[in-house]
Structure 1
Amino acid sequence: MARITASVYTSHVPAIGAALDLGKTQEPYWQPLFAGYEFSKRWMKENRPDVVFLVYNDHATAFSLDIIPTFAIGTAASYEPADEGWGPRPVPRVVGHPELAAHIAQSVIQDDFDLTIVNRMDVDHGLTVPLSLMCGQPDAWPCPVIPFAVNVVQYPVPSGRRCFHLGRAIRKAIESYDDDLKVQIWGTGGMSHQLQGPRAGLINAEWDKRFLDRLIEDPAGLADVPHIDYVREAGSEGIELVMWLIARGAMSDRAPRLRHRFYHVPASNTAVGHLILENT
């Protein structure tokens, strides 16, 4: 059967993608951030999965404010990098895994989670920046990717608890797939940041680091944190962190093995957090 071997958590700041694409990774501002992912790139090469299930949020490229699915799973054979207003990123197209994606959709919907099935879409920095951070700048991404988009842009957004339990349903779905596949599940977005209003530029390092602690040690308790706490403590865009709970919920109920932890401020106007957890 297929199995989840590890989970990866990372911010997906668009300016990180621009720094990579424009060759700025060794500039004094950016070098400390990219140094925090050197271990991760080595780990990825040594632990290459057969499939990555990547949880992210679309930034009004695949979905406009006309249609906003709460949870959307990509079932296509491939996905092009999106043009977000300044041209597509110069990164490889994303190859999908339609068979596993369709199986997960079938299983999760039968477990009473309503998913939107997407057979064609472009993918923006929310998905491509994490791939670049973990895989560098290859001619092709090292494995197929199943995009899983979560609405954390327009309220109402899903609760942390619903995201955590969705992760468990995704684990069940993957483990019921017949092929012997190694799957990684990635949760992206965050950490604390606010892009508008009087608190624009807010970063709460203490709250962020406590979130990382609890994500490792007490994910079920962390899932009970209400939306207002994210907004008050981590800023209006800090709500993206509920997506990390999908990845954590998909992990084994046993305590995970922490392989890497990194936190850095600033990257653009955002705090960057990163974890790699392996199933034991």
Structure 2
Amino acid sequence: MEALFSLSVMVLVAMTSISNSDTDACSLYTRGKLTENEISVYRSLEEIRVIPPPASKRLTYRNEYLAQPHLRGATGYPYEISMSFEMNIDTGQPVPQFNRAYTKTIKQNRDFRITIRSTWSEIEKHLPSRIALPIERTIAVEDYEVAAEQYGMSQVVYPDVHAEIGSNTYARRFHGKNDIFLTLENGKIQGFMVCDKDGAVVVPHCEKTYIQHSFLVEVRFKRILLGDLSSIRQHAVNFLDCILKEN
């Protein structure tokens, strides 16, 4: 009987610990006044034409996290189609977007942006357009070769792109100026990341794309911060878990 009681206590303590852990993770992003909003949810191309949107998802967040709030919203369309949030890697706190001293040091700032929008497609369906594969579908997303393993992903190349001619000149240029990484699980694409090559642009960036809570998630950050990818990824996942959490 005592053994059964002890086991019950252990289970209760474990469950309480997990619950407190979730609360602690969210407390990092909920320090201050919270705002509720809704983002449109679509499950097919046809639904995009429906007004008002057929479904929506509630978000609870601090306004300070919103990226460029003064530019948000499509003119004449009152529904949120996508939303972006910015935070500091080291603190998990909002970026002081209107602090001129901070914005003047943009190249050195350790921050990143999270953008979410509704999707009804698997992640690999978003890959061809993002990495400029030919619209004629002469090159499939599976036609890659693994060049290296980095950052917990496979860096890949698409050799056939460089053999394409004519309308695919843009594809060749794109692949010459960008590095492509895939998150693979048993050969299936679970996510991808595209980075400007060093020297390709003034401030090279990376954008990691995956699906979470049925939303397409794009996490954008400066390439020099690749060494912090683990922290960036953890913040992004935890933040969305918190603001999309059912109350």
Q: What is the TM-score when the length of structure 2 is the normalising length?
A: 0.32
Structure number having the greater strand percentage? 2
Higher RCO (CA < 8 A, seq sep 6+): 1
Q: Greater Rg, structure 1 or structure 2?
A: 2
